[in-house]
Amino acid sequence: MNISDGNLQNYEKIMGSILTSGPNEALIISGGCGSKQVRTIVGGWAWAWWIVTDVQRLSLNVMTLEPSCEHGETIEGVQLNVTGVAQCKVKRTKTSNGPDEMLLRAAEQFLGRDEDEIKNTILQTLEGHLRAILGTLTVEQVYKDRERFASLVHELAETDVEDLGKSKTAKIIRDADIGVALAERDASIREAEFEKKAMDVKYSNDTKVENSAREYQIKKSQFQQDVNKANAEAQLAYDLQSAKVQQNIRNEEIQIDVVERRKEIEIQQQEVIRMEQELIGLVKLPTEAEAYRLQTIAQGEKFEAIEIAHAESEKIRKIGSAEAQAIEVVGKAEAERMRLKANIYRQYGDAAILNLVLQSLPRIAAKIVAPLAKTDKIVLISGNSRSESKMNQFGNQLSAVNKPSIRTSESGTSGCVACGPISPPNKLPISTENIGPSGCSCDTNLFNNQGIPLDQSTIPAIEFFAVVSTN
């Protein structure tokens, strides 16, 4: 058997049954057997007697409202269109089952109405408070401090919404709030208008006073300017006439002075001419002759001194140049000689060093044998035949050194028997200071018969004893 909601409610009223409610709705139970108390059940169950019990349901869902205020005027008289959003629901004072004053009050006001009627009632209340609050705020406060604006609407509307049920009272409160806001707005506007008019009158009067004062000062300045101009013209006329008279007097005095000075100048000019002629005859002509003579002598002495100075400077310059060239040539020759020696020493190594030693040996030997100049004879005692042969070889080499002879090669090149050709490819270059009388360096250098410098290996190691007897 299908039973609709309406039939179910009628059936519950007739027969009676167990009723339940969810957390989003409330059961409002009135009547019963011997009970006059109205019960409210939220999220529970209850028994309802048939015929003697009345059961109604009240929704506890949240209702979204959009209150709006068109052409609402602020405290400054500016019209605004304001819209808002409000969330409303039935408020409960207790969570357990049992009588709930807020639910009973809501049931008293809204039972038997559909949801649209309930929303419309609350919406009108909110719009009235919205318009009232809008009349107490400025435009900046409305759109800059929106939280405060919303809190004011909530505070004012909360009390009326809680007391909702007395529709006429709520409507009167709404109209009164609107009237107060309008009256205050009109009073503010009228007050501002009157204040503006008063200020306009005040500013107009002040402007007139200032204009009058300005015109007075302008007129006064013009009058004073005219007086000063007249005084100045009179004073200038007197000063001008006085200056003209003084100028005429001064011009006459100047003319007198000019005539007197002109005569004095003529007299002085004649005196100058006389004295000039006298000086020409007595002083100028002899002085000019003497000056010409002295000038001619001075010019001659000057020319002579200049020419002598030029000659002396040229002499010093040429001597210095010659000395510099000589020093340069000597320096270059010395540098070239040292460079050649350095190259030769670097080329021959130990042989070059030995050559230097051998060059110094004659002088060293002369110093050594100087005390033996009067020696009669020297006896050499050889230790063995080998030493004797080396002594003979050394003696032959010494004789070759002491007695050089000039020879000519097959190619026609002249040279020394001891030194070989004068400039052999493998012979050390000989400076001019080391060339002896024979044209070679035998006087200062020791060479063998092949022109090769003697080295230490050709000098025998001789062990001898010398017995010297003198005359």
State the pTM of this model: 0.32
The model's confidence at residue 394, banded by pLDDT at 50, 70 and 90, is low
The predicted pLDDT at position 412 comes to 41
Nearest one of 64, 39, 67, 63 to 53, comparing CA atoms: 39
Higher-scoring residue by pLDDT: 341, 207: 207
Report whether pLDDT(7) > 70: no
Higher-scoring residue by pLDDT: 80, 448: 80
The model's confidence at residue 383, banded by pLDDT at 50, 70 and 90, is low
Higher-scoring residue by pLDDT: 128, 455: 128
Report whether pLDDT(3) > 70: no
Report whether pLDDT(439) > 80: no
d(CA 422, CA 424): 6
d(CA 22, CA 31): 22
Report whether pLDDT(451) > 50: no
Residue 9, C-beta contacts closer than 8 angstroms, at least 6 positions apart? 55
> How much is the average pLDDT of 247-258?
89
> How much is the average pLDDT of 256-271?
89
> How much is the average pLDDT of 446-467?
41
> How much is the average pLDDT of 223-240?
86
The predicted pLDDT at position 131 comes to 82
> How much is the average pLDDT of 104-121?
81
Higher-scoring residue by pLDDT: 246, 51: 246
In the numeric block, which tokens belong to residue 367? 């110093």
**If 0-12 CB within 10 Å is exposed, 13-18 middle and 19+ buried, where does residue 41 land?**
buried
Report whether pLDDT(176) > 70: no
Q: Tell how strand 79-83 and strand 414-416 pair up.
A: unpaired
Report whether pLDDT(155) > 60: yes
Pick the most confident of 96-110, 197-211, 399-413.
197-211
Segment holding 58, helix H or strand E: strand 53-59
Place of tokens 């140049």: 321
The model's confidence at residue 95, banded by pLDDT at 50, 70 and 90, is low
CB 68 within 8 A of CB 84: yes
> How much is the average pLDDT of 371-381?
64
The model's confidence at residue 384, banded by pLDDT at 50, 70 and 90, is low
The model's confidence at residue 163, banded by pLDDT at 50, 70 and 90, is low
Report whether pLDDT(301) > 70: yes
Q: Hey, is 424 helix, strand or coil? A: coil
Report whether pLDDT(404) > 80: no
> How much is the average pLDDT of 295-316?
87
Report whether pLDDT(179) > 80: no
Q: What are the Cα distances from residue 209, in Å, to 196, 197, 198, 199, 221?
A: 20, 18, 16, 15, 18
The predicted pLDDT at position 97 comes to 53
In the numeric block, which tokens belong to residue 413? 């090149």
Report whether pLDDT(34) > 70: no
Higher-scoring residue by pLDDT: 84, 36: 84
Q: What are the Cα distances from residue 324, in Å, to 12, 264, 317?
A: 152, 78, 10
Nearest one of 120, 63, 70 to 88, comparing CA atoms: 63
The 10 Å Cβ neighbour count of residue 68 is 14
Mean pLDDT of the residues in the chain: 71
> How much is the average pLDDT of 22-40?
76
d(CA 396, CA 427): 22
The model's confidence at residue 355, banded by pLDDT at 50, 70 and 90, is confident
> How much is the average pLDDT of 178-205?
73
> How much is the average pLDDT of 259-271?
89
The predicted pLDDT at position 167 comes to 34
Report whether pLDDT(399) > 80: no
The predicted pLDDT at position 122 comes to 83
> How much is the average pLDDT of 262-291?
83
Higher-scoring residue by pLDDT: 19, 401: 19
Report whether pLDDT(275) > 70: yes
**If 0-12 CB within 10 Å is exposed, 13-18 middle and 19+ buried, where does residue 129 land?**
buried
d(CA 48, CA 28): 11
Q: Cα-flanking dihedrals φ and ψ of residue 323, to 5°?
A: -65, -40
